[in-house]
Amino acid sequence: MKGYLAILRGRLLALLQYRSAVMAGLVTQIFWGIIKIMILTAFYAQSTSSEPITLSQAITFIWIGQALLQLLPWNVDKELEMQVKNGNIAYELLRPLNLYGLIFSRALAMRLLPTLLRSIPVIILAGLFLELSAPVSWAAGMAFGASLVNATLLSTAMTTMVIISLFWTISGEGIQRLIPHVTMLLSGMVVPLPLFPEWMQPFLNLQPFRGILDIPSRIYTGVIPIAEIHYYLGFQLIWFLFFVASGKYLIEKAMKRFVIQGG
């Protein structure tokens, strides 16, 4: 356990070095959020029928999305990627930590720490000045918190899968080029999922990316009523377990290949 905590701490210290980048990133995201809100407002202005979510809810979705941007499994640790590619990852096997756990902790640090750094200022600014509304109720707020924990676990497990997939591809480029776009679209970052066409909803409701952003946003705004949250929290956990199990399985297989190739 201590080993994992040490890894987390090291990552946080590394991240805090890049303070000006953090500021610039914050300004960029606020700007992006403002643009998206103006776009949505303009679209809603000529909406004649009622939409699956109100404009105010859509705006809240946008801000939660901006706050949680770093939580999406869209990039991997360059250092880790290099280690996998050139096989140095084998040295990690010498440490008294299991490889899946090691990668998972690195991924957790990658997801959690930037998100904490970025989300708090975004939420404060958006809440005070930019039309982010409060959670629909205290219960919704707490459920939102729980869903965020699940979302973090889920996203970390997915990030870990991406890293593990690097064992199997010659260059990670194909997947890595694709992942940001797929992630942003299916999590509801580009456009809130409730606004997608009706015929896509069944598919969108089942895919795992929604567990990272869409489900927490819906809980926050009350689109998912309190009575139903256990289904959705369960949804997040099921996908989390799936990715952990698959990841562990793939690592076992990769390690066997490693050994056979005379490592």
Chain residues binding other proteins by CB under 8 A are: 20-21, 24-25, 27-28, 31-32, 35, 38-47, 51, 169, 171, 173-175, 177-178, 180-182, 184-185, 190-191, 195-197
Q: Which is nearer to other proteins, 49 or 261 (CB)?
A: 49
Q: How far apart are CA 216 and CA 26, in angstroms?
A: 21
Task: Give the 3-state secondary structure of 24-87.
Answer: HHHHHHHHHHHHHHHHHHHHHHCCCCCCCCCHHHHHHHHHHHHHCHHHCCCCCCHHHHHHHHCC
CB of 81 to other proteins, least distance (A): 15
Q: Which is nearer to other proteins, 15 or 191 (CB)?
A: 191
CB of 230 to other proteins, least distance (A): 29
Q: Which is nearer to other proteins, 7 or 40 (CB)?
A: 40
Q: Which is nearer to other proteins, 160 or 187 (CB)?
A: 187
Contact 69, 91 (CB under 8 A): no
Sign of CA dihedral 93, 98, 100, 104: negative
Q: Which is nearer to other proteins, 138 or 173 (CB)?
A: 173
CB of 32 to other proteins, least distance (A): 7
CB of 196 to other proteins, least distance (A): 5
Q: Determine the 3-state secondary structure of 16 from DSSP.
A: helix
Q: How far apart are CA 165 and CA 158, in angstroms?
A: 11
| Residue 15, CA distances (Å) to 100, 102, 106, 114, 117 in order | 23, 19, 13, 7, 9
CB of 52 to other proteins, least distance (A): 9
The pair of structure tokens assigned to 43 is: 């679209």
